[in-house]
Amino acid sequence: MSTTARKPVAKKSGMRTFKAGEIIFNQNDPADSLYIIQTGQIRLYIPKGRGFVDLAILRSGEVIGEMGYFDEKANRRSCSASALVTTEVIEISYNAFGKTMAGLNPWFKTIINTLADRLRKTNTKVKELESNSVGRNSESGVGSYVFFHSTDIIRFLSTLYLVFKSHGELKDNKMEIHMNKLKFYMFDIYSFSEVKYEEFMRICTDLNSIEIANDPDGLPKLIRTSNVDQFRQMLVFFNTQRITDDAKKIKISKRCELMLGAILRQLAKAGLDKEKGQANINAVLAEFKEQNVIISDEDIRDAVTCKLCEDILVGDGNQLTSVVHYSKLKKLYPSIRMMNAVKKVNDEKSGNN
């Protein structure tokens, strides 16, 4: 495969810095340079409808954009790339790279071109498989693209729970594992998708199910949790949801989730230690009004349907109260938050948000 036919590109080479979320290039943009990652992380993805399909996450020492140089038939970007965190790269124009290639021995150039061609064909097949990942809905059978399937979450939660139980050490009243140990199980043993692993860990961190701390070398590689059993409880929840008829599954809207969180805080502050308790709904609504969050008493309807609480009662002076199944709600609430966080990710990646 010859590379001499490519016209020189005037783009200059040099160090560049991208902020978190900043686009490095878009699919179908003209390909005129490659990038060597110095620090940070870059996500490769393919736009799909109003969402996108993740392909890979690349880190320090890896290269992106090189295939555009070797593949003369496709001189445009085959996917999009954006920085996950603040990322530094060395950008090398195809013009400068071509001069380096021109100085190589012909046989060495042949080897490089052959390997590049094989890699391009393999990448094409992988992208086709990723792009064709779909979910199912109850009405038409085949649904839109789904990033996290229920089985993905079940596998992640079970692995996280088992690694904490098998290798966790108790420090400062929290269980702790090293990230390398978890990655050994996730990648080397169970072959999890790295992109899904990164997204799942981000969800766990955002939900405060885990926290990341520095190891003795000062690197953020220690994973800590104050409640290992929550992963087992969430595992049971997602597995139960998976085998339950759609009409009987627990479905809680985001607004209802926020309302239930406020109710739990209210009852915990009151020192409730019984299976049931009475929540002051007026106080809950006032709390959200003060925060300029639009929540109404109707948003508790999902929780009533799922038997987490009972219908709101109107008392003297329009005092609104509800009997809450406190023990049940307290146990299920982390799973409800995880369920909605996963749904949000799926909606964002499928363009349904």
- CATH number for the domain spanning 33: value is 2.60.120.10
Domain with 94, as residue range(s), is 14-131
Residue 242 lies in a domain: yes
pTM: 0.66
**Among 191, 207, 202, CA closest to 155:** 191
> Do 255 and 239 sit in the same domain of this protein?
no
> Do 30 and 119 sit in the same domain of this protein?
yes
> Do 32 and 123 sit in the same domain of this protein?
yes
Average pLDDT on 22-29 reads: 90
The Cβ of residue 225 has, within 10 Å, a number of other Cβ atoms equal to: 21
* DSSP per-residue letters across 118-162: HHHHHHHHHHHHHHT---EETTTEE-S--SS-HHHHHHHHHHHHH
> Do 28 and 104 sit in the same domain of this protein?
yes
> Do 18 and 116 sit in the same domain of this protein?
yes
Inform me whether the pLDDT recorded for 23 exceeds 90: yes
**Among 78, 85, 130, 96, CA closest to 13:** 96
Count structural domains, the chain.
3
- CATH number for the domain spanning 170: value is 1.10.10.10
* Residue at a domain's end among 229, 247, 265: 247
Residue 173 lies in a domain: yes
Inform me whether the pLDDT recorded for 320 exceeds 90: yes
Residue 338 lies in a domain: yes
Residue 37 lies in a domain: yes
**How far is Cα of residue 208 from the mean position of the Cα atoms in its chain?**
15
Residue 278 lies in a domain: yes
* Residue at a domain's end among 221, 247, 273: 247
Q: Which residue has the higher pLDDT, 11 or 292?
A: 292
> Do 257 and 309 sit in the same domain of this protein?
yes
Residue 261 lies in a domain: yes
> Do 202 and 289 sit in the same domain of this protein?
no
Residue 139 lies in a domain: no
Average pLDDT on 261-266 reads: 96
205-256, pLDDT tens digit by residue? 999 999 999 999 888 899 999 999 999 999 999 999 988 888 899 999 999 9
Q: Determine the 3-state secondary structure of 168 from DSSP.
A: coil
* Residue at a domain's end among 247, 282, 298: 247
